[in-house]
Amino acid sequence: MLSLNRGTFLRKGLGVLRVSLSSSGCGNGGGGGERESRVAMESTLKDARDGAAAVDVDPKLTVSGGVEDVYGEDRATEDQIVTPWATYVASGFSLLRDPHYNKGLAFTEKERDAHYLRGLLPPVVITQQLQEKKMMHIIRQYEVPLQKYMATMDLQRLFYKLLIDNVEELLPVVYTPTVGEACQKYGSIYRRPQGLYISLKEKGKILEQLKNWPERSIQVIVVTDGERILGLGDLGCQGMGIPVGKLALYAALGGVRPSACLPITIDVGTNNEQLLKDEFYIGLRQRRATGKFEDFANHNAFKLLAKYGSTHLTFNDDIQGTASVVLAGLLAALKLLGGTFANQTFLFLGAGEAGTGIAELLALEISKQTKAPLEEARKKIWLVDSKGLIVSSRKDSLKHFKRPWAHEHEPVKDLLDAIKAIKPTVLIGSSGVGKTFTKAVIEAMASFNEKPLILALSNPTSQSECTAQEAYTWSQTNESLSFKHKGRAIFASGSPFDPVEYNGVVNVPGQANNAYIFPGFGLGLVMSGAIRVHDEMLLAASEALAEEVTKENFDKGLIYPPLSNIRKISAHIAANVAAKAYELGDFILYPVFLLHASSMNSVIYLSFPLQLMLLLLLFVIFLSRVATRLPRPENLVKYAESCMYTPNYRSYR
C-alpha cells in the first residue's frame, strides 16, 4: 500500500511517481488474473527553492523553472525554459484524467473517499450502463458521421464498452467507411496522440521512440506507411486512423487488451499534393522517400510479407485478412446454395493486394477440396486489372504477384467482355474504383447465373464497385432473362449498405470486410502463442466464420453472420486458428514430448551422442512448432472466451 502526502508532493514537486498496474492471465491479461503492482519513483530534480538558493538566483523560482508571480503561480515568459512537471498518481484529479482508470460519475462513494475525489465530481453516482446510454444518446444526435467518429474517439474506457454493445451501429463509425474520411481530415481533427509516429526525421532513433510508448506488454502492432488507405490512395501520415481503427477492433471485437495494442504509422512523406499544401497536415512535408527506403512503399506489401512472414509473426490484413473473409462468405453461400467450390469460376476486377491475395486462398481451398495441384486450381480464377484480362501474352510485363494468373486466353480489354468470355459464377470487385460494376456488368452476370454471387469489396462507400440497390435491381430487371427469382444477386460489400426492398422482398447485404476475421485471428495467435502465420490458419478462420452463418441469415440474403454476435464469432475463429497452430506443431511435438516425459529419469544416463541427438531433436521441435503456449487447452472456445478483454469497470481498493 502506498501512501503519499499529496500536499507536500504537489508543492515541492520533488519527483514523478508512477503507479501502474498490469495484469496477466491467458497471456492476455484481461481475465482478471494475478495482478502485479509496479511502483517506481524517480526523483529527478532537487527542490527548486533549495536549488535556486544554492546557485544564488531569483529565490522566487518555481519548481518548473519559471518565476513566481505575486500569487505564487508560474509567470514564465516565452524565453524562459521550464520543466513540464507531471504527476501520474492514480488518485484525485489525475485519476479522473487517466484513460485506463477513470470511471467518471461511476466512481462509488467508497472510491471517492479513498481516492481523493470528493468535490471533484458532482454528488451523483451512476452506473456504467447509464453512462453508456447517455453517450449513445449524444453520439446519435450527430448527423455527420465524422462528428460521430470524433465523439467516439474522445471516449476512454467507455469506448470499448460502447463499441462491443453497439457494434453494428458503431463499426461504420470507427472503421470503414467513416475512418476513410477521418484519415483524409486527420490533421484537422487531431486532438491527442493515439499511436506512435515513426518518421524519416527520426531515422536511427527508432528504439528510443518505441520506448516512449507508455505500455510495455505489447502483443499486437498494426503498422501502415499511409500509402494506400482504403481506396483513397496516399494519405501519408494521416493514415494513422487505420491502425488506430483496426486495433480498436482487435480489442473490442477480438478481446485483445487495448494496452497490448500499438498503432504505428511510418511517415516517409507523401505524394499527395493536396495534403502537402494543407496547413493542418500532420506529417513530413516532403515527397515520399524512395530508393533505399523502398521497403516502405505499398507496392512492396507482398515482398514485405514474404520477407518477414517466415521470420516473424506477421499478417497483412489486406492480403490475408481479406482473403479469409471472402473465402468464408463463399463457403457459406455455397453450403446454402448447393454446389461445390471447384465448380465455380471466379472473376476479379482488381489484381492488387486484395485481389491476388483472395485469389491465392481460393485456389488453395479448391486444391484442398479436389486434391488437384495448386497450378490447376488457379485456372478456375481470372483477374482483370487496369489493362484488361490478365492473360499469358501479358506475362512478361506483369508484376510477380499477377503472373500465376496469366492463363491462356486471347487478350480482353474490359470487364464486360471478360464476363462474356469467362462466364464467371462469382464476381469480385477489388479495384478501389467505384461504379465499375455497371448495369451491363450486373446484367451480364445475371444472364447466365441463377444466383450470381457479387462482392463489391472496395472501400469506402464512394469506391464500392456498385451499391446493394444496383446489384439487386439490375440482376432482375432484364425481362429477357430466363430466371425470374426475386433478389437474384447474392451481394456483399466492403462498406455497409442498408437493406433493399425490391418487389416486396427485403434483401440484406452482408459486409465482406476483413473486420470479421482479423480480431479473432489475432486472438487465436496470441492465445496459442503462435510464432508464424500459415495459410492453413487462414483457411481455419474462414471455416469458423462460415459455420456461423445460419439458414435464417442466408434467407435474408446474408452470407456473413450478424455483427452483433461478433465476440462469439471471434472466439470461434480464435479457437479454430489456435487449434490449427497446435496441429501444425503436433506431428513432431507429441511423440517427442512422450519420449521426453517417459525417459525423463533416464536422460541423464544416456550416452553423450544420444544426449546430443535428443538435444538436436528438441531444437528441431523448437524451430518447427507453431503454437508455443503449452499445454494446449482442452476447450479452445471456452479458453478464447476466458482470454477476452472486457471493458466493464473494476472496483478500486
Residues within the annotated binding site? 228, 294-295, 318, 459, 513
Q: Give Cα separations from 461 to 21, 452, 566, 653 (angstroms).
A: 42, 21, 22, 48
From the list ligand PYR, ligand NDP, Mg ion, none, which binds 352 (C-beta under 5 to 8 Å, kind-based)?
A: ligand NDP
**CB-based contact 104:131 (threshold 8 Å):** yes
Q: Concatenated DSSP letters for 592-653?
A: HHHHHHHTHHHHTTS-HHHHHHHHHHHHHHHHH-S--S-SPPS-HHHHHHHHS---PPPPP-
Does residue number 513 form part of the binding site for ligand NDP (CB under 6 A)?
A: yes
Q: Binds 355, which of ligand PYR, Mg ion, ligand NDP, none (CB < 5 to 8 A, cut-off by type)?
A: ligand NDP
Q: Which three cell numbers stand for residue 227?
A: 500509402
Q: Which is nearer to ligand PYR, 176 or 270 (CB)?
A: 176
318 contributes a contact to Mg ion by CB under 5 A: yes
Identity of the residue, 318 or 360, whose beta carbon is nearer to Mg ion in the bound complex: 318
Binding-site positions for (S)-malate read 228, 459, 513
Residue 62 site contact among ligand NDP, Mg ion, ligand PYR, none (CB < 5 to 8 Å, cut-off depends on kind): none
Please say if 46 is a catalytic residue: no
- Residue closer to ligand PYR by CB (options 355, 647) is 355
Which distant-in-sequence residues (6+ apart) come within 8 Å of 484 by Cβ?
Answer: 476
Closest by alpha carbon to 407, among 426, 394, 421? Answer: 394
> Pick from Mg ion, ligand PYR, ligand NDP, none: which does 254 bind, CB < 5 to 8 A by kind?
none
Peptide bond before 177: cis, by omega within 30 degrees of 0? Answer: yes
Whichever of 457 and 566 has its CB closer to ligand NDP, that residue is 457
Residue 28 vs 459, nearer CB to ligand PYR: 459
Is 543 near Mg ion (CB under 5 A)?
no
Which residues within the stretch 205-244 sit at the binding site for ligand NDP (CB under 6 A)?
228, 230-231
User: In this complex, which beta carbon is closest to ligand PYR, that of residue 224 or of residue 528?
Assistant: 224
Count, residues in the chain:
653
What mask of x and - would describe binding to Mg ion in positions 277 to 316, judged by CB under 5 A? ----------------------------------------
Question: Are 294 and 505 a contacting pair, CB within 8 Å?
Answer: no
Residue 579 C-beta-side C-alpha neighbours within 13 Å: 18
Contact set for ligand NDP, span 144-173 (CB under 6 A): none
Which of 101, 149, 160, 175 is catalytic? The answer is 175
Residue 297 falls in which region: left (phi positive, over 0), alpha (psi -120 to 50) or beta: beta
Which residue number is nearest to ligand NDP in terms of Cβ? 352
Residues 96-115 that bind ligand NDP (CB under 6 A): none
3-state secondary structure of 418: helix
Taking the complex as a whole, the smallest distance from the CB of residue 233 to ligand NDP amounts, in Å, to: 9
Query: Which residue do the cell numbers 471472402 mark?
Result: 326
Q: Does 227 sit near Mg ion (CB under 5 A)? A: no
Nearest by Cα to 21 from 129, 125, 108, 95: 95
* Residue given cell 467507455 in the structure block: 158
Residue from 385, 443, 470, 548 in contact with ligand NDP (CB under 6 A): 385
> Is 457 one of the binding residues for ligand NDP (CB under 6 A)?
yes
371 is catalytic: no
Count of residues in contact with ligand NDP, rule CB under 6 A:
30
Q: Residues with Cβ < 8 Å from 542, sequence gap 6 or more?
A: 324, 325, 327, 328, 331, 361, 365, 517
Which residue reads 470486410 in cell numbers?
513
Give catalytic residues, as residue numbers: 175, 246
Residues that bind Mg ion (CB under 5 A): 318
Question: Which residues sit at the interface with ligand NDP, rule CB under 6 A?
Answer: 228, 230-231, 318, 322, 325, 349-355, 384-387, 430-433, 436, 457-459, 463, 494, 512-514
